[in-house]
Each structure stands twice: as structure tokens, then as C-alpha cells.
Amino acid sequence: MKKEMFKVNEVSLHYKLKHDTTNYPIIKNSTDAAEILFDSWDKYTIGLEEQSKVLYLNRRNQIIGLYHFSTGNINGTIMCNKKIFACGLKILASSIIIAHNHPSGNRSISKSDLDVTKVIKATGEAIDMRLNDHIIILPNGSYVSLADENLL
């Protein structure tokens, strides 16, 4: 994947539905997604506060958008279904990958991580926008994938 030649479009209220996705990367596994997500994080704040992001994918698993939808504090952030899916519906995403960081570097998957994943997965199923993964990004660039851990 040629990350250096690709810049993910930030989702905005003025997103144009007609766009050429020829050169957009295809997500084949959690490593592909985690690399793009980590590259999008501000390296000065990744260890200071929790943030949440979502990758929007088309039917080919190509990234059609990246949205930073919340910033919290050292202990947590809020993942709002309305914001996640409103943007996804606006750009006609077929699936999503949600992500947040653990500023502490702790690889543990918390009960709240599992709970929010369950809610987002159910919402996505109801509107035909599948949740492909929930990735926890750590400040050192490593990650934990709930899909890889069979926790989706």
C-alpha cells in the first residue's frame, strides 16, 4: 500500500458524493486499517487524551472517508452513534471501522470497549452499514483489533 501517496479525505458536511476512488487504498486486514489510523493521529496528543475516529469503506473495502468524531480526556471519550452513522449515511458507506486510542499504552480491552462495540455493531446492522472492526491504537503504533480477537 502506498501510504505516502494517499491522503484520506476528511468527512465534512460539504462532502461531495461524486468522487474518483481509483487510488484509494483497500483495507485487506486490521494491519492496513491500523497503519492508516495511526498515521492520522496527532503524535503529540496520542498519549495525552483519548480520541475516536472512524474509517468509512465502500463495497470494495476502499476507504472513502476518515472522521475524527470525538476527543475526551486521559480516561475516555464518547463514541456517539448519531455522529458515526450520520456521516456514513451522507457518504453512502457500506461498512465502517471504528477506532480509539489508549493513551496509557494499555493493550487491555475494557468492558466499556466491548459494550460500545456491541451497540455500534447493532446499529450498523439495522441500517446495513456493517462494523468490520474496532481497533485500539496505542501511542507506540501497535494496536489491538477486536475482530482479530474474535470479539465483534
How many domains, the chain?
1
Q: Kindly state whether residue 6 falls inside one of the protein's structural domains.
A: no
Is 135 within a domain?
yes
In a domain, 29, yes or no: yes
Provide the residue range defining the domain that includes 138: 24-145
Is residue 130 domain-resident? Answer: yes
Give SS3 for 64: strand
pLDDT at 117: 96
Residue 125 maps to which CATH number? Answer: 3.40.140.10
Residue 1 lies in a domain: no
- Choose among 88, 76, 72: nearest CA to 132: 88
Taking only the tens of pLDDT, the chain with its 152 residues reads 444 444 444 544 334 445 566 678 899 999 999 999 999 999 989 998 999 999 999 999 999 999 988 887 777 778 888 889 999 999 999 999 999 999 999 999 999 999 999 999 999 999 999 999 999 999 999 999 999 999 99
CA gap 39, 75 in Å, rounded: 22
pTM beyond 0.75, yes or no: yes
